[in-house]
Structure 1
């Protein structure tokens, strides 16, 4: 079918317009069925929090994602746990053994000085693609806009492929207030000076996702998407939901 005028979407091995899902323990059998139908809508898979460390059938799950061209990595909480216990070298060895090519450097739970995180990125990028996360999981922590901009800029210049804006799976921290409202002034300020194609906005709910689609366009990078929501999200991106209905009329275009 190809008779409707829809917003232009990036396809194939995308570098932006990414959908990054969060896997909080989907059984491998169930995952096979989901990816069989919806893999074309998923680019990155985060095995959430520190669950990868105790997940059964982890190697099989990683292989399954990779067979469908999806890039798996482990949540930043596991990185922070390894940092706290001085086990980063063991962590990297384990990732290499598992065939994981992406690693997250975060600061959401355990406070790691910015300078040290940047040094870690410089070390990790020798062998891995690095994603950094900016923002705290503490809903009462309110970083100034200048600090958000500075950290994102520093991480991109340090060699990170993408920077994630913290939002938690609940959408109640980081770029959201504790009631789940989007800090729209913060987002607009970030977009004024930074390349949105290098930022993954955590958007765990349909409301959050539709905000970013309408604000930035159908090819915004979105993270912490639930596996069950990937088809709905793609429909939203393509103007097939009431709240994004007029996207094609705005003539969103891919760069030449």
Structure 2
């Protein structure tokens, strides 16, 4: 259908307006059914946590994503596990064998210094597209506002295609409080001087997704989206849900 005036949406191989899903073990048959219908709404698929290491049909899953033009990559937890065990060389070799072209460099669980992460980005950007993540999965760890902005800027300057703001799959850490509410002061600080099209906000719940859509528009980059929520999210981006109904609409008056 194309008769309504709805917000503009980027299409095809998007550089912004990205929807990044989190795959925590979706069976191949179920995944294929979702991709047949909804692949045009999905840009990136993160094979969540370290699950790629124990996924028995990993190559088949990667091939399926690529068949439908969805970029697959492994969650940052697997990178951190390899880092702490000094197995990054083996990890990168395996990614190449699998045909994975993106790598996430994070420190959500392991305290990897910013200097080390910047060095790794500069090293691996020669062979991969690099995504970095800022923020901790620990609800009790809070980074100062200025540190978020400083880190994101440095990570982008080092060569990251995007920087992810930590939110966990629960939406209760990083840019959120324990109740799942957005830290608005933090978001305002991050986006005041940084190109928002280079940030992927982890937003696993519809409530959080709608906040970012209303804050930054239909083409905000969103991550950790559940596969079953992809169509609903696209409807939200088009102003087809009550909470985003007036997105891009003129101000209406009843007088």
User: Do both proteins adopt the same fold according to a TM-score greater than 0.5, normalized to the shorter chain?
Assistant: yes
Do structure 1's residue 240 and structure 2's residue 234 form an aligned pair?
no
Do structure 1's residue 201 and structure 2's residue 179 form an aligned pair?
no
TM-score by length of 2: 0.97
Whole-Å separation in 2 of the counterparts to 1:12 and 1:224: 20
Do structure 1's residue 189 and structure 2's residue 189 form an aligned pair?
yes
Do structure 1's residue 214 and structure 2's residue 214 form an aligned pair?
yes
| Unaligned ranges ≥5, structure 1 | 252-256
Do structure 1's residue 91 and structure 2's residue 91 form an aligned pair?
yes
Partner of residue 16, structure 2: 16
Deviations 1:8-31 (A, max 9, x none): 000010000000000000000111
Partner of residue 44, structure 2: 44
Deviations 1:200-231 (A, max 9, x none): 00000000000000000000000000000000
**What SS does the corresponding residue of 1:131 show, helix, strand or coil?**
strand
Partner of residue 56, structure 2: 56
Deviations 1:76-101 (A, max 9, x none): 00000000000000000000000000
Question: Using a 3 Å threshold, how does the CA distance of structure 1 residues 82 and 250 change in structure 2: closer, same or farther?
Answer: farther
**What SS does the corresponding residue of 1:22 show, helix, strand or coil?**
strand
**Runs of 4+ deviating beyond 6 Å:** none
Whole-Å separation in 2 of the counterparts to 1:234 and 1:65: 19
Contact 1:140/1:178 (<8 A) preserved: no
Aligned residues: 251
Question: Using a 3 Å threshold, how does the CA distance of structure 1 residues 196 and 250 change in structure 2: closer, same or farther?
Answer: farther
Do structure 1's residue 229 and structure 2's residue 221 form an aligned pair?
no
Question: Using a 3 Å threshold, how does the CA distance of structure 1 residues 250 and 234 change in structure 2: closer, same or farther?
Answer: farther
Whole-Å separation in 1 of the counterparts to 2:189 and 2:117: 24
Do structure 1's residue 27 and structure 2's residue 22 form an aligned pair?
no
**What SS does the corresponding residue of 1:132 show, helix, strand or coil?**
strand
Do structure 1's residue 107 and structure 2's residue 113 form an aligned pair?
no
Partner of residue 163, structure 2: 163
Deviation at 1:248, TM superposition (A): 2.7
Quote the RMSD (CA, aligned, Å): 0.9
Partner of residue 134, structure 2: 134
Question: Using a 3 Å threshold, how does the CA distance of structure 1 residues 212 and 250 change in structure 2: closer, same or farther?
Answer: farther
Deviations 1:170-221 (A, max 9, x none): 0000000112111011001111100000000000000000000000000000
TM-score by length of 1: 0.97
Do structure 1's residue 71 and structure 2's residue 71 form an aligned pair?
yes
Question: Using a 3 Å threshold, how does the CA distance of structure 1 residues 203 and 250 change in structure 2: closer, same or farther?
Answer: farther
